[in-house]
Amino acid sequence: MTTNKVAWFVFAFLAIGVGLYPLMYLFATEKIGLLFSKSDLLLANVIWNIGFYGHITFGGIALMTGWSQFSKKLRTKRLRLHRNLGKIYVAAVVVSGICAVYIGFYATGGWISSLGFVLLGLVWLYTTLKAYAAIRIKDLTLHQGMMIYSYAACFAAVTLRLWLPLLQLAFGEFLTAYRIVAWLCWVPNLIFAHLWVKRKGLIIG
């Protein structure tokens, strides 16, 4: 197996694996994971719960559909499927992104975490809607470039889960690690996306 195929397999495996992660919360009968860091008052808030479960559910759908959009084989041989998956991705991002911005204001770790996650949600929404608007006017270059940025923001769900345990080991406690990961999970992703867009010669305007 070539290096590119291995990288593609790991990319798809992580996207699908973390995309399925919300099922843990949806089927849990007691408090798990991040919910341990939330107050009972917040957990009893109906609107927050709608935002939280809306974010993780549709975010998972976005992760599981978005990775396939980078398959050149799918785009050339099954264009209709590519378009349908793209529409599902955009719809999922809109719901998850709006929910993400809302619950971001209640992020564990105070304003540092909140600012990081709210900005991530806004970037995700903007780049996705820009990509959709571009394909509507058949601007493929802008569409492809913005989709790279969009999925880089979406993939923060994966990189957060890779960075967080390492940061907890480094700092020995959760809050500091979480404040850092609120930024580390997506800023490097966007830097990588920028370099990728530049390398492919895609014009973002």
- End-to-end CA distance of the chain: give it in Å, rounded: 37
The radius of gyration computed from the CA coordinates of the chain, to the nearest angstrom, equals 17
> Could you tell me the pLDDT band of residue 3, with boundaries at 50, 70 and 90?
low
Distance CA 127, CA 153 (A): 9
pLDDT at 79: 78
DSSP state of 75: H
Distance CA 59, CA 160 (A): 14
**Does the structure show a pLDDT above 60 at 1?**
no
Question: Whole-prediction pTM value?
Answer: 0.91
Residue type, 56: I
Per-residue pLDDT of 41-69, as tens digits, reads 999 999 999 999 999 999 999 999 988 88
45 occurs within a structural domain: yes
33 occurs within a structural domain: no
Nearest to 108 by CA among 36, 19, 47, 157: 36
32 occurs within a structural domain: no
153 occurs within a structural domain: yes
Interhelix angle 187-200/140-154, rounded to 10 degrees, is 160
Residue type, 132: Y
Per-residue pLDDT of 157-199, as tens digits, reads 999 999 999 999 999 999 999 999 999 999 999 999 999 898 8
How far from the centroid of its chain's Cα atoms is residue 70's Cα? 15
Tokens of 177: 């690690």
25 occurs within a structural domain: no
30 occurs within a structural domain: no
46 occurs within a structural domain: yes
Count of domains for the chain: 1
CB atoms within 10 A of CB 197: 20
Distance CA 51, CA 77 (A): 37
Task: Determine the structural domain holding residue 130 and report its residue range.
Answer: 3-18+40-200
160 occurs within a structural domain: yes
